[in-house]
């Protein structure tokens, strides 16, 4: 069960990082691609010390696979940040965690994992819970669109497939190399992938402008990347020793953890919580709580 502890800790860090990212996209930056460039550049502050300590060798083809895996994650991250820009962070994290459904399918086809009917039922519950939270109640006068799906669901269509492929590739790469080498080369792969974005003048301009917005903005970004770094490391170790399907299913706890963080912020840091634009009215909390319960039951069945 060691993989479970790694996965849980990683999910906690990812939840906190998501809250920080929402603060940045709501307060300091309008283009998700510019934020992504800033994130990747700052993340190299953690990659460089790891390189110095680990002294990685370039091993063919393992290092190439890791570079490609890091590059592969750039596009779905842009979709995720776009969704975060237009929707509540708790709903975004709930929609994000639909990707285990595609991992279930891919793990059977590509990795030969066998899933019991109970696990399949759990996967279905994960999907139902995530879709439930994406529903939003509009004005009663708008009868044609009284109950509508969140607009954030569109950016996630391709995100789910690409993210599932990313995590499935991690499991394959970890058979060939160790966790720290995977982190190093995948991080460098992400750096390579943002080079074309840095060639766009508007993105370069907004990225430079962000770093001139003061200590609060830079501190928030660095804090988000510290949390993301820890989440990545713990999740890599979880994937190295556990089933890709089971480890991914633990991420379904992230929406609940995210909502709890926002509620705590609303009590102790109401000014920051207001910037989150999270709906914490009673009806919304009930809807979210029901969907989270369904997700938790789904996790239980998967296990």
Q: What are phi and psi for residue 137, nearest 5 degrees?
A: -90, 120
pLDDT in the model for residue 68: 93
Using the predicted structure, report yes or no on whether residue 302 has a pLDDT greater than 90. Answer: no
What's the length of the chain?
Answer: 303
55-59, 136-140, 180-184, 231-235: least confident range: 136-140
pLDDT for 139 beyond 80: no
Structure tokens at 65: 């696979």
Residue 143, pLDDT above cutoff 60: no
Check residue 48 and give its pLDDT.
93
Rounded mean pLDDT, 203-211: 91
Q: What is the pLDDT of residue 141?
A: 43
Residue 140 clears pLDDT 70, i.e. is over it: no
Task: Tell me if residue 4 falls in helix, strand or coil.
Answer: helix
Residue 150: what are its φ and ψ, rounded to 5°?
-60, 140
* pLDDT tens digit sequence for 32-90: 899 999 999 999 999 999 999 988 888 888 899 999 999 988 988 998 888 888 888 87
**Residue extents of the structural domains in the chain:** 2-87+151-278
Supply the pLDDT for residue 134.
65
Predicted structure pTM score:
0.82
Residues 264-292: tens digit of each pLDDT: 888 887 777 677 777 777 887 887 788 87
Q: What is the pLDDT of residue 137?
A: 56
Task: Output the six-digit token pair for 228.
Answer: 């993301």
Distance CA 134, CA 299 (A): 19
Higher per-residue confidence, 190 vs 94: 190
Mean pLDDT of 108-122: 71
Q: Which of 194, 100, 91 is nearest to 135 (CA)?
A: 91
Over 50: is that where the pLDDT of 147 sits? no
Portion of the chain with pLDDT greater than 90, in percent:
29
Q: How confident is the model at residue 186 (pLDDT cuts 50, 70, 90)?
A: very high
């Amino acid at each position: 069960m060691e993989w479970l502890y790694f996965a849980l800790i990683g999910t906690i860090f990812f939840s906190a990082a998501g809250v920080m990212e929402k603060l940045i996209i709501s307060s300091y930056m309008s283009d998700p691609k510019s934020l992504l460039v800033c994130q990747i550049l700052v993340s190299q502050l953690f990659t460089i010390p790891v390189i110095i300590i680990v002294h990685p060798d370039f091993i063919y083809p393992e290092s190439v696979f890791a570079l490609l895996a890091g590059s592969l994650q750039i596009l779905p991250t842009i979709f995720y940040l776009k969704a975060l820009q237009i929707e509540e962070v708790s709903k975004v994290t709930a929609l994000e965690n639909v990707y285990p459904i595609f991992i279930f399918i891919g793990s059977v086809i590509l990795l030969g994992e066998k899933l019991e009917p109970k696990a399949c039922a759990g996967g279905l519950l994960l999907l139902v819970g995530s879709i439930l939270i994406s529903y939003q109640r509009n004005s009663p006068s708008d009868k044609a669109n009284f109950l509508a799906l969140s607009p954030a669901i569109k950016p996630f269509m391709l995100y789910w497939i690409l993210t599932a492929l990313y995590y499935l590739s991690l499991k394959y790469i970890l058979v060939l190399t160790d966790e720290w080498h995977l982190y190093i080369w995948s991080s460098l792969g992400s750096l390579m992938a943002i080079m074309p974005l840095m060639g766009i003048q508007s993105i370069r301009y907004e990225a430079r402008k962000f770093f001139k917005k003061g200590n609060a903005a830079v501190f928030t970004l660095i804090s988000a990347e510290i949390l993301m770094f820890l989440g990545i490391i713990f999740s890599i170790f979880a994937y190295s020793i556990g089933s890709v399907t089971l480890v991914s299913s633990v991420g379904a706890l992230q929406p609940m953890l995210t909502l709890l963080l926002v509620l705590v912020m609303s009590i102790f840091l109401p000014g920051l919580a207001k910037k989150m634009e999270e709906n914490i009215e009673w009806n919304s909390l009930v809807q979210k709580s029901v969907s989270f319960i369904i997700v938790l039951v789904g996790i239980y069945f998967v296990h």
